[in-house]
Structure 1
Amino acid sequence: MTERLSEETRGPLLKPLFQAGWKMVDGRDAITKTYHFNDFVDAFGWMTRVAFWAEKWNHHPEWFNVYKSVKVVLATHDVNGLSALDAKLARKMDALAPVAEAVEE
């Protein structure tokens, strides 16, 4: 069963993500990052690779794609906030996007 991140586990799981460009969503227990790719094909290809992992782990992101940018929001709806699954999927997204860079919003 998935559990919401405790105060003790938040730091170790989220700190490396914040260092990699992830941010907390204002007014919500969720994290966000925007990836910027070379073109639409790179962005969509990355989304496809992520989709396989999301399906395998039964943990699906909220995301929005416009041309070569993909904005991602991660939260676990079952716990109404962040869980270890969000950190796991965020790490996988970063690993699958070596040519992408996070852009400031």
Structure 2
Amino acid sequence: MQLIDVQQWRTLAAGLPHWHYQEAGGGSICRELLFDDFVQAFSFMTRVALLAERQGHHPDWWNAYNRVRIELSTHDVGGLTSRDLALAQAIDRAYLAMVA
């Protein structure tokens, strides 16, 4: 699986405007999402957990009350890959469906 570097990310970033590239550790992308309350945030995390499990790809994430911060990288290869981009797109769709 091919790693995506910062130059490639700059080209791909338009499709994931809420995600931010982090160069440390081989590269990852992260996003922070806000919800009305803890229950909505936890419900979203449950939804994403099921998406991630189906893809066999699991995020690093943190939750504090109504905030969820998600960081994606492919640990097997030590950086950002197309698997992360696909999961980020699925996460974005799930978030829009929940807050729309």
In the superposition, the TM-score normalised over structure 2's length comes to 0.84
Query: In 1, distance between residues paired with 2:7 and 2:24?
Result: 21
Query: In 1, distance between residues paired with 2:22 and 2:8?
Result: 18
Identify the match of residue 45 of structure 2 among 44, 47, 50: 47
Secondary structure of 1:78's aligned partner: coil
The answer to which structure has the higher helix fraction is 2
User: In the alignment, which residue of structure 2 is the partner of 1:24?
Assistant: 21
After superposing on structure 2, the runs of 4+ consecutive aligned residues of structure 1 that deviate more than 6 Å are none
Per-residue CA deviations over 1:36-87 (Å, capped at 9, x if unaligned) read 0011111011110111111111100000001010011000011111111100
Secondary structure of 1:79's aligned partner: coil
In the superposition, the TM-score normalised over structure 1's length comes to 0.81
Query: In 1, distance between residues paired with 2:80 and 2:39?
Result: 30
Query: How far is 1:9 from its partner?
Result: 5.7
Query: How far is 1:4 from its partner?
Result: 2.0
Query: In 2, distance between residues paired with 1:63 and 1:6?
Result: 22
Aligned pair count reads 97
Query: In 1, distance between residues paired with 2:19 and 2:40?
Result: 20
Query: How far is 1:24 from its partner?
Result: 1.0
Task: Among all aligned residue pairs of Structure 1 and Structure 2, give the percentage whose two residues are the same amino acid.
Answer: 38
5+ residue gaps, structure 2, are none
Output aligned runs, 1:1-105, within 5 Å.
2-5=1-4, 10-17=9-16, 19=17, 21-28=18-25, 29-98=27-96, 99=99
Contact 1:54 1:61 in 2 (8 A): yes
- Over the aligned positions, Cα root-mean-square deviation in angstroms equals 2.1
